[in-house]
Chain A
């Protein structure tokens, strides 16, 4: 299994990965709580971006409603914890199944009836909006007044119930990011991964090669949705409060896709690099503005806009592909077409 996972990966890439991972593992020894919280946000977006990338980057189906799966993951695990005292790790499989079922419904409606491209994107927005409005009136999870997890001043870390200090959350999201990365790497190099890429590149040609495109698009949306759900669990237990207006808000979905778009859609490193870059820079900017006594609440969003603009104009494939060539990590011998 391990040998197969590593097959064909350049050795220097492994060293590089190991170094980055080692760096991230020792970071809490030096970092203060503020830096840790920034890193937690970065890794959270790296993970969710990776999950979204399975559907868009690998299989070519643009979802603008991934907040839906985050929300289901968050509400399912939080409600099980608040109402029945069921811990998040036990709740997580339930949350994953709910998200997968939801993804399957959306996928079936879209792919069976030929809804593709922007229309598929609109359908995903519609479903996350349904959920936002629905959860506003869903009293079992406190509707629009918000679902709160019990909070105390934690001196020790309770990993089983995800109650504790930032450093614990940091390691949890780091582990999730690593697992997500390895899973996506394995998927991309599997039969399913190749079929997804074929569908992304040219669906008609893919079908003529015997690929049941409906089936493989369904697999993509179900895996992507299921992968997104644990991010919701993390979100719920880290922030301790859930409001439908925030959790299912379309801006949450947009934030998820910024990292992969800036880093490189369809690449494994794109979502991670993109998340580091955009969240890191946005936080630094915020800090800088606060330092100079400028209170500008919209600055982050303007910054996101400028970043997107620059990447789309200068590097339409994202910033990872040129870096990959520089590090000689790409398989192809060509420069990509512009």
Chain B
């Protein structure tokens, strides 16, 4: 299958620090692709390059056959890439429903149909019962799912999930894994996720890319990657599986 997202030799420097060093990978349509690596490996920077928060210093990023590197975040989203933030950014004074509706209004300009879309997404994320709560009052697991709901509401072709399981208890992690799998299975949505929780990565990802000091050191199916000597040495050895 053709790749939906192609990252080619992408690099980003922050005043001398090479955060992302010539990274290349491709995410085929329908896949759940995970990017793992120790803290400071450049995962979130890589995400921000794809989502348009920064432009890469070198290299190209293509989505759906067209270059997207250097475009602004709102344009990237309109092209069909939804994202979540590692440190969740809900609209605190709006209700859960209105938070998701803001996302839905992107493709459905009239309010009633956007609201219907928001309700659909909220049901899929187990948030429907909390739709009239203010987003600022939600617990962390709920906020994480709200973050996913809001991004999903924009009807993306590719969903970028930035550590949506970080800080969750094991039961909540399992719930999120189930949700991600279900979304991928039901709608065929391509998902690119950054994750620290290896248990979750192993059960959800179809393919894994390992970053270390900004460079890709391994790529492949999760079972193969965890046995890779370079990965064990640089990452898994220090942080137990």
Contacts and interface: CB of A to CB of B under 8 A. Distances in A.
B137 to A, nearest CB: 5
Interface residues of A, number: 27
Interface stretch (A87-95, A206-214, A228-236): A206-214
B111 A197 contact: no
Interface stretch (A105-113, A286-294, A328-336): A328-336
Contacts of A198: 91, 94, 102
Interface in A156-214: 189-191, 194-195, 197-198, 201-202, 204-213
Nearest to A190: B111
B77 A208 contact: yes
B85 A191 contact: no
Interface stretch (B3-11, B25-33, B128-136, B231-239): B128-136
A211 B74 contact: yes
Interface string B93-135: 1110010011101100111101000000000000000001110
Contacts of B82: 209
Contact of B73 (A189, A190, A208): A208
A337 B85 contact: no
Contacts of B98: 194, 197
B102 A194 contact: yes
Contacts of B132: 331-333
A209 B77 contact: yes
Interface in B48-98: 51, 72-74, 77-78, 82-83, 85, 89-95, 98
* Size range of the chain B interface in the assembly: 35 or more
B83 A208 contact: yes
B45 interface: no
A198 B92 CA distance: 10
A105 B89 CA distance: 31
Contacts of A209: 74, 77, 82, 102-103, 106, 150-151, 154
Contact of B106 (A205, A210, A333, A334): A210
Contacts of A213: 74
7 contacts: A194-B101, A197-B91, A201-B92, A205-B90, A208-B73, A212-B74, A332-B95
Interface of A: 7, 189-191, 194-195, 197-198, 201-202, 204-213, 266, 331-334, 336-337
Sorted nearest first, the 9 A-B pairs with minimum C-beta distance are: A201-B91, A210-B77, A205-B89, A210-B106, A198-B102, A207-B73, A334-B134, A210-B78, A207-B74
Given A205-B89, A266-B93, 11 more contacts: A197-B93, A197-B94, A197-B98, A201-B90, A201-B91, A205-B90, A207-B73, A208-B73, A210-B103, A334-B134, A336-B136
